[in-house]
Amino acid sequence: MHMADALLSPGVSGVMTAASVGAMAYACAKMKGSDGPGAGENNVPVMGVMGAFVFAAQMINFTIPATGSSGHIGGGILLAAMLGPYASLLTIAAVLIIQCLFFADGGLLALGCNIFNMGVYACFVAYPLIFKPMTRSGASPGRITAAAVVSVVVGLQLGAFSVVLQTLLSGVTELPFGTFVLLMQPIHLAIGAVEGLITAAVLCFVYQARPSLLDFYTGEKSNAKKSALSFGNTLAVLLVMAALIGGGLSLFASAYPDGLEWSMEHTAGTAELEREGGAYESAATIQEATAFMPDYGFKSAGDEGSALGTSTAGIVGGALTLALACASGALVSAFKKHGKDG
């Protein structure tokens, strides 16, 4: 559900960028001022590994049967369930920033919208208001699965509806509200159901391997689970999974358009709208200069791409995301320590 710049006016882009920056600043402040989830030093490597995992997982579009469409995970609920709402927002922002700048996935002007639609709703709304209450009375594979599916669906529905509103406020006449919303909501309902099951599968693995890694796990003495794996080994498994997904399974991604592109094609007859203006040209120029592997492939490979290019993009992108997410967490941790020492 990565929006392109042509779907937004500069005004809407500016407002949504300010909203996302504000949300990330709030997340940093809450991490700095809390000793709970999202504040500890141990969360720094978790932010990096899970950021790399989500980056890789987003490269795999899964087919939605009988629609001619596909979808990929957003990852917000998965990250929030492991990191808490604040560190997870910074991590999903790191994923989207790397995708935008180095792989030209999602527009530069649209980056604020993409962070808000895919991050803020999942981390600040769906997770604390739906997922966490559903698991508060005790975690189990069944509860985790139900909570993951419901919260992912709600978060994705909110994000999809926001895309429609943002295009409406931007004056994109090619995408009339009524038709666009009637296509966006059902297709993202189906995508959300699949993502919810994928999210549940990963969380159930962590629950069995290292339940203390989960933000929602309370560890009551009466039913406390023993860890099957150490902290380091659990992260190592997740990191290997990220490498295998990004470097191998990404080659088998569905060729069908994703939910947003599919909705645009059925509404406007095309998934590639164009807008003219200095802001759009400047954003395109910046992305062209920074994106060394546009569309997750080598520039020399052309539009067809190559298997080697896709695999390389998955590995390199995961590594860059890991580094940026870790740097974000470490920076907040350093400020926290400085504040305590001061």
What residues make up the domain containing 50?
5-341
- The confidence score (pLDDT) of residue 137 equals 82
152-170 tens-digit pLDDT: 999 999 999 999 999 999 9
Q: Among residues of the chain, what percentage have pLDDT more than 90?
A: 85
Question: Could you give the CA distance from residue 14 to residue 16 in angstroms, rounded to a whole number?
Answer: 6
Number of domains in the chain: 1
Q: Among residues of the chain, what percentage have pLDDT more than 70?
A: 92
- The confidence score (pLDDT) of residue 299 equals 85
CATH number (domain holding residue 134)? 1.10.1760.20
- Whether the predicted pLDDT of 126 surpasses 90: yes
46-56 tens-digit pLDDT: 999 999 999 99
32-41 tens-digit pLDDT: 655 444 444 4
